[in-house]
Structure 1
Amino acid sequence: MPSPSSTVDATLTLHPDRALPAEPGVRAIAREIYGSVANLPIVSMHGHVPVEWFAEDRPFSDPAELLVVPDHYVVRMFVSQGARPEDLGVRPLDPSAPPAESDPRTIWRRFCAGWKHFRGTPSRFWLEHELVEIFGVREVPSEATADAIYDRIESVLREDSFRPRALLDRFNIETIATTDNAWDTLDAHGRLAAEGFGSRVLPTFRPDAVCHLDRPTWVDDVDLLGAAAGVDVSTYAGFLEALRVQRARFVAAGALATDHGHLGVDTTPLDEAEAARLYAAARTGRTTSAGARAFAGHMLFQMAAMAAEDGLVMQIHPGVLRDFDQAVHRRLGPDKGYDIPLAVDYARGVRPMLEAFGHHPNFRTILFTIDETVYSRELAPLAGVFPSVRLGAPWWFLDAPDAMRRFREAVTETAGFANMSGFVDDTRAFCSIPARHDLARRVDAGYLARLVAEHRLTLDEAVDTAADLAYHLPRLAYRAGDAQ
């Protein structure tokens, strides 16, 4: 007799009411609200899909490389169950090290065999959506079904309609932003612009690598910045000029935002002489942890000052202790799923920046967090008073149904809906983008349905607000054009 958890004969289906409220009356209202926004275009203004995918427009190689290897949500779950990242195809930096698994079918079998580990996680929702809606899979992943599912996905990947550019239409993505290094020459974006995609695939300026003096590659990265800008960066003044030149290059290429992933959120400016001293010392390999922290906070303030000049929207998402396991970091490199959230002192941190620019007509910042404790205490009050502040959507570890509901309940009464950024997917997993936006729309529909059921909103108001959250507010928050 098969065990209760057997899925060999099961059919993979998507329930139409998934993630909607359980109470029948509220669920009926949520269905109507969700139905009004389900097919709105996706505005993906914060993400990490490589621009080269669109510029080169090559077919995806195989199911494992598309859905497993680059997805740190997937990899970290298997690591928690005793696997090595290399077992899921994550390659070590050292070519002489024991190699990672290179057979995509073997990786896929391991993934399917561990399908039950994703129960109750947002990854389960996203992956099911991808398998059913995008690839037409009907078998529940398991050891027994792994090869059949692999063959089905592989056949889809060979179709011309599944190349990256074609997927923009298939996924109904109106705008997607990539994340690019401060020294990027934006050649790939230039090629896309020449081929008619310049207003659809936008760059985002990310200067983190050159703002932290204690990063091992800081000197080399600053030199890359100087070379790209054509500016001598041997001095602090030259460094700032190179940043301005590159920001202007990004603006000319259609960028709407910058992206800042500092550990802390301090924005205290330094005396210019002190900033120059710390910069000069770091150029010769002499820096301290305290000096690096002070310089990083100073640079957030400088980025805000430049944002007030050029209008790029400043996204700040602090509070992540990245590359927590240093041995794994040395072996596999950054961003391999060992990142851990920290508490953030947001109000004191951004106070210098907002005192200087919070009412500046050309300044806009979007504040993200994965420290839920600051939602109602600090972030909602900040967004609810400063005209320059928008509250970023639940991000990373919080982009799950219950966490997104908690977000709405924590911030709406203080900040209102108009001070939100709308949903951002923040992912490298391209095929999960429609699923992530769909989940956010369902959760918002459920929250709004409760307000209707409690006679706090009319149904018409709820439908209008749902459209704002799904489509209009992201465009407004990122200044992506008139949202009418």
Structure 2
Amino acid sequence: MTPFLSDDFLLHSATARQLYHFHAAPQPIIDYHCHLPPDQIAQNRQFENITQVWLYGDHYKWRAMRANGVNERFVTGDASDWEKFEKWAETVPYTVRNPLYNWTHLELRRYFGITELLNKNSARRIYDRCNELLQTPEYAVQSLLRKMNVVTVCTTDDPADSLEYHQALAATDFGTRILPTFRPDKAMTPEAPDYNQYLDRLGAAAGVGIQTYADLQAALRQRHDFFAAQGGRLSDHGLERLYVADYTEAEVAAIFTKARAGQALSAAEVEQFKSAMLIFLAELDWEKGWTQQFHLGALRNNNTRALRQLGPDTGWDSIGDFEQGRALSRFLDRLDTQDKLAKTILYNLNPADNDLFATMIGNFQDGSVAGKMQFGSGWWFLDQKDSMEKQLNALSNMGLLSRFVGMLTDSRSFLSFPRHEYFRRILCNLLGRDVENGELPAEELPWLGELVEKISYGNARDYFGFAPAAAPASAEYFGAN
């Protein structure tokens, strides 16, 4: 029987073990899409306890606790941090075969050196030990990033954000690059009841009084320039699907005027406005040589009662079944026809769309950049072993796995970086299995090792134009075994 979470976890052949230990594990981490709060990085926050760093804002754990019959008071309510941790510990044994079970114990091992299984009996010991360590300087936020060999983090930021913490970090000798990502979703929602309030905030940040559609474009361009000046080189959109209605600039200007006046818009007008905005924003990215990301397919805020009680983004979302293909094709073709298609990463949330996305990127590879069009890594509900393998297989079958820019955390937690290890082990196991089965040549093992290094780190470094990482400040690397 193989021990749980051994050094060879998920590595089921000698070749897989060689690829992982010698090629994947030592690579630095570029986390090019996450939701880490830059203020906590700049302030080098010292968490008081494991609940604050582990359970606050973690929708994955919240959903599991609710499914296990835990009252909301112990999830997002007013229970003490110890009580919330205790309820999570009681839930952990019930998460077997959910990736949370492996992630939980990987994080306890990699960050805290705790090999004991978490359950109701061990909860107090583990809570106290983690809290003891969290009080030391080695467990402040910046040290956590260094110890996991994280060399670049791209946060997710609204155009109206000040980026003051990114600026503060850039002025220090903190070795990890913390760069902003331009997420303009709120600027695209004229149907939202608070849209005018948002425009006021955006206009104040840009120094532009936003009264017309041209003003909105000017404000967004100014903020896009500002993000670029702070090192930003990616945008991101979280959408159900892409919008590709026909429109004229005059029509969109009139629609914006109606929205600014607080008048209700028809569904067709909203579709036109979003379509125009997507093209405008994509052209901004193309002008600067940025990478645009599209996270598509989430059906959000399904539980009306919970939405009213807790607000959005509290763990009531699911996979949606939106039609993606025609809109993807039309949107990308519009930009390509004008020779204004930026480097693009497409993420799907419905696994039924894997092959669609994997083939769609091939329609718009133009030879200008290796892997210009990317099928993004397994995202949200798909960042577990089964779905990661399916994404890797779809990309391998219909594109070039060798040009893949690899994994990201998409996380709000500073303890989530073992997900890169998890992904790298899965990648190495797939390649190792193919070699052992005679489907890939053993004599190409040096090339496969180089390939693993590229997918783990090098491809992302080159694709986004990041400078090579310096040697880590500490020889300690929690992901290596």
Q: Deviations over 1:276-323 (max 9, x none)?
A: 111111112222333223322322222111111122211000111111
Counterpart residue number, 1:18: 9
Q: Deviations over 1:135-158 (max 9, x none)?
A: 122322122211111100000110
Match of 1:62 among 22, 40, 49: 49
Q: Deviations over 1:370-392 (max 9, x none)?
A: 12222223433424652441111
Query: Over aligned residue pairs, what C-alpha RMSD do you find?
Result: 2.1
Per the TM alignment, residue 236 of structure 1 is displaced from its structure 2 partner at its CA by: 0.4
Counterpart residue number, 1:93: none
Write the letter of the residue equivalent to 2:440. R
Counterpart residue number, 1:176: 153
Q: 2:69, 2:79 → 1: CA distance? A: 19
Question: Paired residues, what number?
Answer: 457
Counterpart residue number, 1:51: 38
Counterpart residue number, 1:407: 391
Query: Equivalent residues in 2 for 1:445-464 (5 A)?
Result: 445-453=428-436, 454-457=438-441, 458-464=444-450
Query: Does residue 261 of structure 2 align to residue 261 of structure 1?
Result: no
Q: 1:379, 1:151 → 2: CA distance? A: 46
Q: Is the 8 A contact 1:212 1:293 kept in 2?
A: no
Query: Does residue 410 of structure 2 align to residue 426 of structure 1?
Result: yes
Q: 1:113, 1:287 → 2: CA distance? A: 49
Counterpart residue number, 2:463: 477
Q: 1:172, 1:390 → 2: CA distance? A: 25
Moved over 6 A (4+): none
Q: 1:192, 1:356 → 2: CA distance? A: 38
Q: 1:479, 1:316 → 2: CA distance? A: 20
Q: Is the 8 A contact 2:402 2:451 kept in 1?
A: no
Counterpart residue number, 1:363: 342
Match of 1:335 among 313, 318, 327: 313
Query: Does residue 393 of structure 2 align to residue 416 of structure 1?
Result: no
Q: Deviations over 1:189-223 (max 9, x none)?
A: 11111113497011111110111112232111111
Write the letter of the residue equivalent to 2:451. T
Per the TM alignment, residue 336 of structure 1 is displaced from its structure 2 partner at its CA by: 0.8
Write the letter of the residue equivalent to 1:141. L
Q: 1:19, 1:384 → 2: CA distance? A: 34
- SS at the partner of 1:180? coil
**More displaced 10-residue stretch of structure 1: 269-278 or 46-55:** 269-278
Q: 2:4, 2:97 → 1: CA distance? A: 16
Quote the sequence identity (%): 29
Match of 1:320 among 291, 298, 302: 298
Q: Deviations over 1:388-409 (max 9, x none)?
A: 4111111111110111111111
Distance 1:230 1:292, change over 3 A: same
- SS at the partner of 1:328? helix
Write the letter of the residue equivalent to 1:337. G
Q: 1:197, 1:268 → 2: CA distance? A: 46
Match of 2:218 among 235, 241, 246: 241
Distance 1:334 1:383, change over 3 A: farther
Q: Deviations over 1:57-94 (max 9, x none)?
A: 12012111111232110001111223344322x2xxxx
Q: 1:16, 1:257 → 2: CA distance? A: 35
Higher RCO by CA contacts (8 Å cutoff, separation 6 or greater)? 2
Write the letter of the residue equivalent to 1:187. E
Q: Is the 8 A contact 2:64 2:91 kept in 1?
A: no
- SS at the partner of 1:317? strand
Per the TM alignment, residue 253 of structure 1 is displaced from its structure 2 partner at its CA by: 0.2
Gaps of 5+ in 1: 1-11, 22-26, 91-99
Q: Deviations over 1:244-297 (max 9, x none)?
A: 000000000011101100121224452111111111111122223332233223
Write the letter of the residue equivalent to 2:147. R
Write the letter of the residue equivalent to 1:473. N
Counterpart residue number, 1:443: 426
Gaps of 5+ in 2: 367-371, 471-481
Distance 1:156 1:167, change over 3 A: same
Write the letter of the residue equivalent to 2:347. F
Q: 1:121, 1:462 → 2: CA distance? A: 30
Q: 1:304, 1:268 → 2: CA distance? A: 15
Query: Equivalent residues in 2 for 1:375-390 (5 A)?
Result: 375-383=354-362, 385-387=364-366, 388-390=372-374
Q: Is the 8 A contact 1:13 1:132 kept in 2?
A: no
Distance 1:34 1:365, change over 3 A: same
Q: 1:398, 1:152 → 2: CA distance? A: 32
- SS at the partner of 2:450? helix
Q: Is the 8 A contact 1:266 1:348 kept in 2?
A: no
